[in-house]
Amino acid sequence: MLWILLYSLGSRPAATEAGAVSLDTLSFHNYGEGLTGVFFNVFLITMRTAGLGTILAALIGFPVAYAMAVHVPPRWRSILLFLLILPYWTSFLLRTFAWRIILAPQGTLSDLLHTLGIINGRLLILDTNAAVQLGIVYNYLPVMILPIYVALERIDKSLLRASMDLGAGPIRTFFQVTLPLAAPGLLGGLLLTFILAAGDYVVPTILGGTKGLMVGNLVATQILASQNLPLGAAMAVMLIALLALIVVSAAMLLWGVRQMLRASRGAPL
């Protein structure tokens, strides 16, 4: 990390100089360049894609985790958890490549939708941002489900029964008891999914093509293709700083929510 930070302050050496980075003069020029023009737009696209993917994963993952923790008998939970992580036994790269076969214009999904009359022509989702979004949700959905499941599974069921005995219905019990107690797991899932999605390089490269550009691809392009290691390092540092800021903001938000809940219940702050 320190070397990356140091490289980000360097400059691209002249063609006659040896080495990938010149550290003769240190400056923040690369950071200014990384926040201009197309580079800044790629950062916005990355945050939007990772944010939307995280929200979709939460909307899908929370009901799944809730069903596993509350409604599934204990003897079946281990089997479902095994099935949940089973795709991770296969290479991340291979699983992402498999989606190219599914989403291809002449692929399985396109033929099925055409047969059912849902689409008239061929499915043209491959090599678009929508394909990247789908790949992110698919690959990181277990990362969202597992922390939420752990938080829900550890909730004392007597608290839920006590809430019902005191006159609260299922919906009120869920929002006033279950959801606040599961908040740490939900926040953990949101942060893990967002951080991994924002720094992803494989999914946008394989499923997005030129239309699925994200910061990870931009960093790789600057380092490998453009041979501009200082600018690539600056972009990497900016992404890390942005993710760190989001983590700190989420922690402060969780602390604020807890204080509000304690105050609403009359507990001392």
pLDDT of residue 54: 94
Interatomic CA distance for residues 169 and 82, integer angstroms = 33
**Which is more confident, 259 or 83?**
83
Confidence (pTM): 0.84
pLDDT of residue 60: 95
* pLDDT one-digit tens code per residue, 1-32: 999 999 999 888 876 565 678 888 888 988 98
pLDDT of residue 15: 65
Interatomic CA distance for residues 136 and 213, integer angstroms = 13
Res 118 pLDDT > 90? no
Mean pLDDT, rounded, of the chain: 86
**Which is more confident, 108 or 231?**
231
Least confident of 39-53, 112-126, 189-203: 112-126
240 CB-contact burial (10 Å; exposed 0-12 / middle 13-18 / buried 19+): middle
Asked if 90 contacts 126 with a C-beta cutoff of 8 angstroms, the reply is: no
DSSP conformation class of 11: B
pLDDT of residue 121: 79
pLDDT of residue 58: 95
Asked if 29 contacts 11 with a C-beta cutoff of 8 angstroms, the reply is: yes
* pLDDT one-digit tens code per residue, 125-162: 888 888 999 999 999 999 999 999 999 998 888 888 88
Give whole-number Cα distances, 168 to 174, 197, 258, in Å.
9, 38, 21
Give whole-number Cα distances, 145 to 64, 70, 115, 245, in Å.
7, 14, 33, 24
Reported confidence tier of residue 269, pLDDT bands at 50, 70, 90 = low
Q: Percent of the chain having pLDDT more than 90? A: 33
* pLDDT one-digit tens code per residue, 166-187: 888 888 888 888 888 888 899 8
* pLDDT one-digit tens code per residue, 69-100: 988 888 899 899 999 999 889 899 999 999 98
